[in-house]
Amino acid sequence: MNYLLFFLLISVAILSQGCIEVCECPDLLDRLFWPAKNETLHTEGAGCVRNITCKTSYASTIVAFNFTDSEIPRPVDSNYAAGAISLNPEVQTGPNINIFQFFGMVCENNEWYITKYPHGVTFKTSTEEELVIGANGELDGKKSKINLFTCEPPS
């Protein structure tokens, strides 16, 4: 009986090694525009779970995407040449804020998306006026393919 139990435990241990979840998406830090990867605090968890934080000397984080790669409808007055950004200028994205979680970054179909827009989406109009939509959380849950993200220094 002890041999059977031992065999079952070994079998479960060996089979569970094949069940380790692997992230199908490319390295998210390849989308980091600035600063360099080694200047950003990051860790990788199981599957596609990440923890990414900008150092305390940075004032905001910007995640850029195009309306054409988003579930968010393009505002009628938006400039075609400009994409859209989701930013957080009021709160420092220092050691307390995991921007991966803050912007709801997820991996689907080998692409990275954001699903949260804590301060809405900022875009420019054809007259270069900067407007914000969705600052009340109404856009949360809509996916937008990440073009790049950056930690911005104070102005």
Reduce the DSSP state of residue 23 to 3 states and report it: coil
- Give residues with Cβ within 8 angstroms of 109, minimum separation 6: none
Burial of 11 (0-12, 13-18, 19+ CB in 10 A): exposed
Q: Quote the CA–CA distance of 133 and 121 in Å, as a whole number.
A: 5
pLDDT at 57: 63
Strand order in the sheet with 106-108: 106-108, 111-114, 144-145
Distance (Å, whole) CA 114 – CA 116: 6
pTM of the model: 0.76
Per-residue pLDDT, 151: 78
The pair of three-digit structure tokens given for residue 73, joined into one six-digit string: 């409808």
Identify each DSSP E strand in 45-124 by its residue range: 50-53, 60-65, 84-87, 106-108, 111-114, 121-124
Q: Which residue, among 84, 72, 147, has the nearest Cα to 111 in the 3D structure? A: 147
Q: What is the mean pLDDT of each run of 10 residues along the chain (155 residues)?
A: 52 48 85 78 86 72 88 84 54 63 92 91 87 89 92 67
